[in-house]
Structure 1
């Protein structure tokens, strides 16, 4: 690889690296589970089972989405799992809200991101079912 190639590989990573450096001392969304854990007394007792168990299931489903979407290219399965994940995140936010309002609010950007990625997954899945349906037609022709 030429040095210019390394620049193109590194360039997409600069934004996230800079953001993490600039917000090092601020709370981020992944901090939310810690807030819930702390507010419920720490440890791993019964009060934590539902709020953090639901969060653990959410993480597992999000990892499955990545596998279905990027490794298996199974856009339909990825979309189904994203819809399940959306419900899990909403449920987690609702359960976390009485425990720690900030933790619940920190899940909102994730819900926005899921909305966008689910839309993309839907379009990829739909286009994979009818690949010729969305291609432009020559001037003057109509679809049946």
Structure 2
């Protein structure tokens, strides 16, 4: 009986960790449906730079980045003692950048708004940078876990800019904005 209680306590203590790691993936489920539908028709018709990664690379990269930032958010939450006044800014910034991140796919892929996608990814990068900076004062490991995400957002911003620039005058449905 004691062993069973210990196992239950351990499982309960892991619940926040699992929740924080999985949370960033929630928005990607809807985004993946939109992207999967739009790649063969719309996205493949866009002019892309030679350094555009193959389509298959995006899912594992985003999966890794989402898990990493989710774990970082767990570290911040744990360090600050849960949801409270001290965690409001660090976790609020995180939630804001995550909402911006999730909104990019419906804007870019769903609505074919390349220019607004660029604005969104730049806002996401700014919010993620602010999050990383604030996290650094709370838990350095959490902030370091955001570095690959910041690097990828930089790359994604440049790629989004290039797609917008190279396709704004083309006859793609709604690709001009």
Same fold? TM cut 0.5: yes
Structure 1 stretches of at least 4 aligned residues deviating more than 3 Å after TM superposition: none
Offset of residue 28 of structure 1: 3.2
Offset of residue 112 of structure 1: 1.0
- For residues 43-81 of structure 1, the C-alpha deviation after alignment (integer angstroms, 9 at most, x for no partner) is x21111100011111111001111111111111001001
Q: Distance in 2 between matches of 1:52 and 1:121?
A: 27
Offset of residue 96 of structure 1: 0.4
Counterpart mapping for 1:71-86 below 5 A: 71-86=110-125
In structure 2, the residue matched to 1:62 is 101
In structure 1, the residue matched to 2:154 is 115
- For residues 28-49 of structure 1, the C-alpha deviation after alignment (integer angstroms, 9 at most, x for no partner) is 332000000000011x211111
Name the TM-score, length of structure 1 as normaliser.
0.70
User: What's the secondary structure of 1:37's corresponding residue?
Assistant: helix
Max Rg structure: 1
More helix by share: 2
Name the TM-score, length of structure 2 as normaliser.
0.58
In structure 1, the residue matched to 2:140 is 101
Aligned residues: 111
Q: CA RMSD in A?
A: 2.3
User: What's the secondary structure of 1:47's corresponding residue?
Assistant: coil
Greater relative contact order, per chain length (Cα 8 Å cut-off, separation 6+)? 2
Structure 1 gap segments, 5+ residues each: 1-11, 21-26, 133-144
User: What's the secondary structure of 2:86's corresponding residue?
Assistant: helix
In structure 2, the residue matched to 1:135 is none
